[in-house]
């Protein structure tokens, strides 16, 4: 293994290059080919807390990163109109309450809610959620005994600025950048491996191993190697998006808002210098003009550009590693940004590629392990996203009728049955979305379980009530003492692009 070629310089390409730059120390050449003429997808602004792992791996200073990408802090996602029109709930990062003697916290709360209206909502027992509602932010405490240690956060950022930030690092660390449009891809007639990408001006870039970050076109994995795309459209019918920035508004909310529409949903992502907005919709159920009207009609501030149109299909390539090529980012698969998981899947692909980095172009064990792990992760995230569409009372449009009545995948059906019977939530080992995430969405959108955990009988109601009351108070006090989100940014990490 002497050379690696990364095809594509979007978020996926430069995130990959910034990590693979360290291969140069092992004597491996790393080259990235990108085409300004083709450009990048240019959307993708909300992240989840796992981005900390990526930034830490590269030793990126957080305040410098927030400044460079005009980022804000994200404490979760508010879902509006998903269960029914007029209903809203938060899916916060962080945990709900504390389990007691092996009994899940949400079980305690569900019982208390059945007995008394005063028990409060799930959100009241999650510091991250309460802080989000108050538009407060501070970094978590490192003292595990402090309630503030339970706070979890991610970022809203400008993905274009992030790619530029990473590009400077990667090039500084020895990655060679080649600008040009790839016209063809050559395969070895003997092995079928990719040998060279040929630019339209005739320049040739040869490599031993290739990372396909070419976006939806999937130039290497899909086009050159012919790995089929598996569509998940029957469960996730949204196939288009319109994106438009708007002027910033106050207060600066530390969360993403996802508002359900008649045939899809709208996102609202506040950055320091603008708000990113978009409408993800299903073209089988609504036309482009109506979708644009819904997007522009729902903006909080004036639009600052024309809406940009994007097309996609939910799904993933049958294999993400084929021969001497791994696809990372949109070249490998796409799940709509409802839970901001695309950038996570990019970093997960990079992390697994690094832990399985092949010593030679052919590495069947590493390839099969990679395909199993990434394939499982895509499928698990898919199920979590389908949950939002399927667990709804909405029947006010053909779209929602379709989503509610289409049988979910078996893996999700089992989770739903566990919840509906006794409020149980059991993510698979290693699953990205923890039981707290599943509880947030199930409690926010699905009917209350028919019964609860029989082990609750061991916890007397009055004792549990005192515990809930105490927790509720401590969380409320801690959140109220946190600084305002905008003030925190102004003090620590205001961007040059900021207000
Ligand atoms: P691209 O950005 O498309 O980059 C492809 C690269 O390949 C470009 O540099 C291009 O020039 C190059 N290329 C292509 N063909 C050639 C060629 N022939 N020759 C040379 N170079 C070539 N993710 C999140 O995590 N959070 C979000 O909130 C979020 N929101 C999204 C909203 C929408 C509507 C969409 C569609 C996606 C969203 N995503 C989100 C996903 C996110 O945008 C992508 O995962 C991310 O931008 C990575 O894209 P990419 O680098 O794989 O592809």
Residues 227 and 320 in one domain: yes
Structural domain that includes position 353: 3-72+157-232+314-379
Pocket test residue of 43, 185, 279 for ligand 1, highest count of atoms within 8 A of CB? 43
Residues 304 and 421 in one domain: no
Measured N-to-C along each axis, helices 11-20 and 342-355 cross at an angle, to the nearest 10 degrees, of 30
> What is the Rg, in whole angstroms, of the alpha carbon atoms belonging to the chain?
23
Q: Tens of pLDDT along 477-495?
A: 999 999 999 999 999 999 9
Query: Predicted confidence band at 499 (pLDDT cuts at 50, 70, 90)?
Result: very low
Angle at 482 between CA 156 and CA 268, to 5 degrees: 25
Residues 168 and 220 in one domain: yes
Kindly state whether residue 390 falls inside one of the protein's structural domains. Answer: no
**Which of 417, 416, 392 lies closest to 402 in space, CA to CA?**
392
Local structure of residue 433 (DSSP, 8 states)? S
Q: Tens of pLDDT along 423-448?
A: 999 999 999 999 999 999 999 999 89
Distance of CA 357 to the CA centre of its chain: 25
Residues 33 and 60 in one domain: yes
Kindly state whether residue 250 falls inside one of the protein's structural domains. Answer: yes
The CATH number of the domain where 349 resides is what? 3.50.50.60
Average pLDDT score, the chain: 96
Residues 318 and 213 in one domain: yes
Report how far apart, in Å, the C-alpha atoms of 47 and of each of 244, 337, 342, 344 are: 18, 9, 8, 7
Taking the CA atoms of 22, 25, 26 and 32 in sequence, report the sign of the dihedral they define.
Answer: positive
E strands within 180-296?
182-187, 194-199, 204-206, 209-212, 229-231, 240-246, 256-261, 264-270, 275-281
Ligand 1 and 339: CB distance under 6 A? no
Least confident of 78-82, 119-123, 330-334: 119-123
Residue 45 CA, ligand 1 centroid: distance in Å: 12
Kindly state whether residue 496 falls inside one of the protein's structural domains. Answer: no
Residues 259 and 279 in one domain: yes
Kindly state whether residue 384 falls inside one of the protein's structural domains. Answer: no
Ligand 1 and 94: CB distance under 6 A? no
Q: How far apart are CA 169 and CA 175, in angstroms?
A: 9
Ligand 1 atom at minimal distance to the Cα of residue 346:
45
Q: How far apart are CA 268 and CA 444, in angstroms?
A: 19
Residues 330 and 193 in one domain: yes
The predicted structure's pLDDT at residue 109: 97
Q: What is the pLDDT averaged over residues 349-372?
A: 95
The predicted structure's pLDDT at residue 117: 75
Residues 357 and 216 in one domain: yes
pTM above 0.95, yes or no: yes
The predicted structure's pLDDT at residue 115: 87
Ligand 1 and 11: CB distance under 6 A? yes
The predicted structure's pLDDT at residue 103: 95
Q: Tens of pLDDT along 37-90?
A: 999 998 879 999 999 999 999 999 999 999 999 999 999 999 999 999 999 999
Q: What residues have CB less than 8 Å from 297, skipping those under 6 apart?
A: none
Query: Predicted confidence band at 496 (pLDDT cuts at 50, 70, 90)?
Result: confident
**Which of 233, 214, 232 lies closest to 224 in space, CA to CA?**
214
Residues 425 and 332 in one domain: no
Angle at 356 between CA 354 and CA 358, to 5 degrees: 100
Local structure of residue 414 (DSSP, 8 states)? H
Rounded percentage of the chain residues whose pLDDT exceeds 90: 96
Kindly state whether residue 79 falls inside one of the protein's structural domains. Answer: no
Counting the structural domains of the chain, the total is 3
Local structure of residue 99 (DSSP, 8 states)? -
Partnered with residue 4 across adjacent β-strands are 30, 209
Q: How far apart are CA 198 and CA 175, in angstroms?
A: 19
Q: What is the pLDDT averaged over residues 300-304?
A: 93
Q: Hey, is 475 helix, strand or coil?
A: helix
Local structure of residue 303 (DSSP, 8 states)? B
Ligand 1 and 416: CB distance under 6 A? no
Query: Predicted confidence band at 118 (pLDDT cuts at 50, 70, 90)?
Result: confident
Q: Tens of pLDDT along 149-195?
A: 999 999 999 999 999 999 999 999 999 999 999 999 999 999 999 99
Ligand 1 and 278: CB distance under 6 A? yes
Q: Exactly one of 2, 74, 104, 262 is catalytic; which is it? A: 74
> Using CA positions, which residue lies closest to atom 39 of ligand 1?
44
Centre a 10 Å sphere on the Cβ of residue 75 and count the other Cβ atoms it contains: 30
Kindly state whether residue 271 falls inside one of the protein's structural domains. Answer: yes
Residues 183 and 301 in one domain: no
Kindly state whether residue 81 falls inside one of the protein's structural domains. Answer: no
> Using CA positions, which residue lies closest to atom 53 of ligand 1?
215
Ligand 1 atom at minimal distance to the Cα of residue 328:
52
Pocket test residue of 32, 33, 38 for ligand 1, highest count of atoms within 8 A of CB? 38
Kindly state whether residue 173 falls inside one of the protein's structural domains. Answer: yes
Residues 324 and 307 in one domain: no
Residue 32 CA, ligand 1 centroid: distance in Å: 15
Active site residue 74: yes
Q: How far apart are CA 137 and CA 156, in angstroms?
A: 14
Residues 258 and 371 in one domain: no
- Does position 207 have pLDDT exceeding 60, yes or no? yes
The predicted structure's pLDDT at residue 43: 86
Q: How far apart are CA 339 and CA 434, in angstroms?
A: 13
The predicted structure's pLDDT at residue 272: 96
Ligand 1 and 43: CB distance under 6 A? yes
The predicted structure's pLDDT at residue 360: 86
């Amino acid at each position: 293994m002497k050379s690696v070629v990364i095809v594509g310089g979007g978020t996926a390409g430069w995130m990959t290059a910034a990590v693979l730059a360290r291969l140069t120390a092992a004597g491996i050449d790393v080259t990235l080919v990108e085409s300004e003429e083709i450009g990048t997808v240019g959307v993708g602004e909300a992240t989840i807390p796992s981005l900390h792992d990526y930034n830490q791996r590269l030793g990126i200073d957080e305040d410098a990163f927030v400044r460079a990408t005009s980022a804000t802090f994200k404490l979760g996602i508010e879902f509006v109109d998903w269960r029914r029109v007029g209903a809203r709930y938060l899916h916060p990062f962080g945990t709900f309450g504390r389990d007691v003697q092996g009994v899940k916290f949400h079980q305690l709360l569900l019982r208390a809610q059945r007995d008394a209206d005063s028990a409060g909502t799930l959100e009241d027992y999650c510091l991250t959620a309460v802080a989000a509602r108050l538009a407060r932010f501070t970094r978590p405490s490192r003292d595990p005994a402090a309630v503030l240690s339970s706070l979890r956060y991610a970022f809203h950022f400008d993905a274009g600025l992030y790619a530029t930030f990473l590009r400077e690092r990667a090039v500084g660390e020895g990655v060679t950048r080649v600008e040009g449009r790839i016209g063809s891809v050559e395969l070895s007639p003997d092995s079928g491996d990719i040998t060279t990408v040929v630019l339209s001006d005739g320049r040739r870039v040869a490599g031993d191993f290739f990372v396909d970050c070419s976006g939806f076109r999937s130039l290497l994995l899909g086009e050159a190697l012919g790995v089929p795309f598996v569509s998940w459209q029957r469960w996730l019918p949204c196939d288009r998006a319109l994106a438009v920035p708007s002027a910033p508004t106050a207060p600066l909310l530390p969360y993403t808002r996802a508002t359900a529409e008649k045939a899809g949903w709208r996102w609202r992502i506040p950055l320091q210098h603008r708000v990113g907005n978009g409408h993800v919709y299903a073209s089988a159920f609504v036309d482009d003009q109506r979708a644009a009207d819904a997007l522009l009609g729902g903006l909080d501030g004036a639009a600052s550009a024309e809406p940009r149109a994007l097309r996609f299909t939910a799904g993933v390539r049958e294999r993400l590693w084929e021969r001497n090529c791994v696809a990372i980012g949109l070249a490998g698969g796409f799940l709509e940004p409802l839970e901001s998981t695309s950038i996570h899947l990019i970093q997960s692909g990079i992390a697994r590629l690094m832990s399985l980095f092949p010593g030679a172009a052919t590495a069947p064990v590493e390839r099969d392990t990679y395909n199993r792990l990434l394939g499982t992760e895509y499928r698990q995230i898919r199920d979590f996203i389908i949950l939002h569409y399927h667990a709804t009372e909405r029947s006010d449009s053909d779209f929602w009728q379709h989503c509610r009545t289409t049988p979910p995948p078996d893996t999700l059906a089992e989770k739903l049955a566990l919840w509906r019977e006794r409020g149980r939530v059991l993510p698979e080992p290693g699953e990205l979305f923890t039981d707290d995430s599943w509880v947030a969405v199930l409690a926010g959108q699905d009917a209350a379980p028919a019964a609860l955990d029989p082990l609750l009988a061991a916890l007397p109601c009055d004792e549990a009530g005192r515990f809930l009351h105490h927790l509720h108070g401590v969380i409320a006090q801690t959140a109220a003492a946190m600084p305002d989100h905008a003030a925190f940014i102004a003090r620590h990490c205001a961007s040059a692009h900021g207000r």
